[in-house]
Amino acid sequence: MKLAVALTVASIAVMTAAEARADSTMPAQVCASDTGTDRAMCVAMIGAERSVLNDGKTVCSNVAPEDLSDTHAIIDFIRAHPEQQQADLGDVAEQVLKKLHPCN
């Protein structure tokens, strides 16, 4: 099972950040899962969104790409705000990342 998830994450990770954002119509509720494909998609989409926002200077995160602290913060936010679970994951990630890493 871990190998399947790792392979899924690896295949998703090759998608460019711009492609991921353009294709993002994924509801934030996928991040409520702790395992499986939904979790892999959640982590990959948040990473892609963070890259796009950082590159465009919408957010100014100095967190290394392999550091999942931003990902965990976004997942915690989604779990704490069930009303956001039907919102687009990219929009929710942007909202949280802007609060965590504003560009002053």
Q: Where are the domains of the chain?
A: 2-100
Strands (E), the chain: none
pLDDT of residue 34: 87
Residues in the chain: 104
pLDDT of residue 89: 95
CA–CA distance, 16 with 103 (Å, rounded to integer) = 23
**By CB neighbour count within 10 A (0-12 exposed, 13-18 middle, 19+ buried), where does 49 fall?**
buried
The token pair at 32 is: 């409520």
Three-state DSSP at 88 gives strand
pLDDT of residue 79: 94
Show pLDDT as tens, one digit a residue, over the chain (104 residues). 555 554 455 455 444 444 555 555 799 999 998 889 999 999 999 999 999 999 988 999 888 888 999 999 999 999 999 999 999 999 999 999 999 999 87
